[in-house]
A and B are shown apart, each in its own frame.
Chain A
Amino acid sequence: MTVLDFHEKLKTGKTSAREAVFGFLEKIKKENKILNAYLEIFEDDAIAQAQKIDERIASGETPDILWGVPVAVKDNILIEGKIASSASKILENYVASYSATVIKKLQEAGAIILGRTNMDEFAMGASTENSAYGPTKNPLDHSRVPGGSSGGSVAAVSADLAILGLGSETGGSARQPSAFCGVVGLKPTYGAVSRYGLMSLASSLDQIGPIAKTVGDCKILFDTIKGLDKFDSTTMDYGLRTVDKKVKRIGIPKEYFEDGLDERIKKSIENLIKRLEKNYEIRHVSLPHTKYAVPCYYIIVPAEASSNLARHDGIRYGVQKKSDDLLEVYKKSRGMGFGNEPTRRILLGTYVLSAGYYDAYYMRAQKVRSLIKKDFDEVFNEVDILLTPVTPTLPFKFGEKTKDPVSMYLADIYTCPANLAGIPALSQPIGWTEEEGKKFPIGLQLMAPPGEENRLFEMGKHIENLVL
């Protein structure tokens, strides 16, 4: 069910918010045991909120677009009074002291938060296998990963265990799982959505990512949560920055179609390009520094993450391991609280930032990042939008990439450049392919200049109509 379908039914009295919530809760109870998309369901709160919505409608109010819409929220976004663990043991008992700006906005808009969803610990991973609470399964094939790190929210939307989902994005964490589970995921322009109440991974890259069934629903969710926030000084006044421009020229960057891309994904996108040629000018372009995005990303992210995760020391909140010595309290709390991937990144970040290595790693990576951004700036002088695959492969199987961190990192090869450059990017399904007798979605990525989400939505809706 989409937001628009549900809204129509609610408005015309064909359903109630309570009926919807009960329906979703029942389905979750049946299916979540296997999928492990939700870590916790807020049953009583959801029913109470739905009751309020129904009372308002009964009293004659006309429902707004998100009234009664059930939303799944990633476990790294704070909801006052609820546990927010980032799927980590170190925060297993942490109750959020306040609500994130996006949560307040959703609640004011009348949406209903159904529960908190599974993820890779501290949003570090591309498969949701790094959760301290067990992996989430891909609803389309339970032997495969849903992608990550927002695997729980994406699986929930894909399996109809919520209508909308909130994920977070540092290098593809909303777009890549969306491609793996056949839904729509957005990485907004850096600064478009407030990060207040989102647990930080890499602060110069993080954004909250809306997840939905359709491009239209994704736009509704994005429009609800975006905007200036005095509690996040990197947010910008979106209204002023947005220049709506009709898409005319589509760029196809050759670096996104080279070796390593699954032939079925490549064919499907090439077919789509042929169909778009009728109404758009297709230009073959180059983003020459693309291959350096992943190595650049895996210096910058650990560096920022090691600093951000220093706050988790077991002193002010979270799990504290007892000892008579303060230093031991830190070491034990952190050593036992963090899983493998956060530990890897904390140590790697500490290494690349330490004296003597800073110039060779961190400074070099930040310079390469400038070049990646410059590639995009130049190409957007020529074209209005870029069209690429989201992932090089179909969803992989559990355990396939857990032994080798680098192979897991390469799952972000087409998605992390947008985070490094700060530009918006949309992932949407454009078709299906088969493997081992099962059907898997093919994902398409659209990228636009900063502040131009509307171009993505316009083009995304056009493509949706074309292929579905």
Chain B
Amino acid sequence: MSEEKISKKEIEHLKSLARVQFGEKETEDLVGDLEKILDFVEQLKEVDISNVPEMTHAADLKNVFRKDENPKEFDEQLVGNLISAFPEKEKTYLKVKAVIKK
């Protein structure tokens, strides 16, 4: 394995960016796994990519437009289904913890 690519401190930072929380043991395993994967993808450095464009998509698509109108009829059942999936609600409102502290 080449020089250390990712430290435990960095993993902690990534965990906070990605909004995940788990224990010490899992974090340590992840350091090892990510090292291995980053080591593996290192071989892409051999490829000459000068003057090569980035490929962002497999479909040869131009912008797809639709008329500026509501594409979907109001679907009461769908709305009801979406609301009933809320983990916490009050009437038909989605309930979340306060974002800004008092």
Chain A residues with CB under 8 Å of chain B are 80-81, 94-95, 97-98, 190-191, 204-205, 230, 233-234, 236, 289, 291-292, 295-296, 298-299, 306, 310, 313-320, 323-332, 334-336, 338, 340, 343-344, 346-348, 350-351, 354, 361, 363-371, 373, 404-406, 409, 419-422, 450
Which A residues touch B21, using CB under 8 A? Answer: 328, 331-332, 334-335
A-B contact pairs, 18 of them (CB 8 A): A80-B81, A95-B85, A190-B59, A230-B71, A236-B59, A236-B61, A324-B97, A326-B99, A346-B20, A347-B11, A347-B20, A347-B30, A347-B34, A351-B10, A368-B47, A368-B49, A371-B49, A422-B57
Contact digits for B66-102, partner A, Cβ 8 Å, 1 yes 0 no: 1000010000001001101111100000101111000
Known: A298-B40, A422-B59. A98 touches B81 (CB 8 A): yes
Chain B residue, CB-CB nearest to A360: B45
For chain B, the count of residues having a C-beta within 8 Å of the partner chain is 53
Say yes or no: is B19 at the interface (Cβ < 8 Å to chain A).
yes
Partner of B87, one of A190, A191, A320: A320
Contact (A406, B44) CB under 8 Å given A329-B97, A331-B21, A368-B49: no
CA gap between A319 and B48 in the complex, in Å: 46
Q: Are B85 and A94 in contact (CB under 8 A)?
A: yes
Chain A residues whose C-beta falls within 8 Å of the C-beta of B64 in the assembled complex: 233-234
Q: Among the listed B18, B58, B87, which residue makes an inter-chain contact with A306, where contact means beta carbons less than 8 Å apart?
A: B18
Question: Smallest Cβ distance from A371 to chain B, in angstroms?
Answer: 6
Cβ–Cβ < 8 Å partners of A404 in chain B: 36
Residue interface bits B3-19, CB-to-A below 8 A is 1, else 0: 00010001100110111
- Chain A contacts of B37 at CB under 8 A? 298, 344, 348, 405-406, 409
Which A-B residue pairs are the 5 nearest by beta carbons?
Answer: A422-B58, A331-B21, A97-B81, A335-B21, A320-B87
When the two chains form their complex, are residues A350 and B54 in contact, meaning their CB atoms are under 8 A apart?
no
Choice from A191, A317, A450 contacting B85 with Cβ under 8 Å: A317
B47 to A, closest residue via Cβ: A368
Q: Which single member of B22, B40, B43 contacts A335 (CB below 8 Å)?
A: B22
> What is the predominant secondary structure among interface residues of chain B facing chain A?
loop
B28 within 8 A of A: no
Residues in B with CB closer than 8 Å to A81 are 81
Tell me if B56 is interfacial: C-beta within 8 Å of chain A. yes
B35: shortest Cβ distance to chain A, in Å?
A: 10
- Interface residues of A, dominant DSSP: helix
A324 closest partner in B (C-beta): B97
Verify A406–B34 contact, CB threshold 8 A.
Answer: no
B36 lies within 8 A of A191 (CB): no
Task: Collect the chain A residues with CB atoms within 8 Å of residue B97's CB.
Answer: 323-326, 329
| A316, B55: Cβ atoms closer than 8 Å | no
A230-B71, A292-B47 are known contacts. Are A334 and B19 too (CB-CB below 8 A)? yes
- A348 smallest CB distance to B (angstroms): 6
Most buried by A among B10, B41, B42: B41
Distance between Cα atoms of A98 and B80 in the complex (Å) = 11
A236 to B64, CA, bound (A): 10
Given the complex of chains A and B, what is the CA–CA distance between A204 and B41 in angstroms?
20
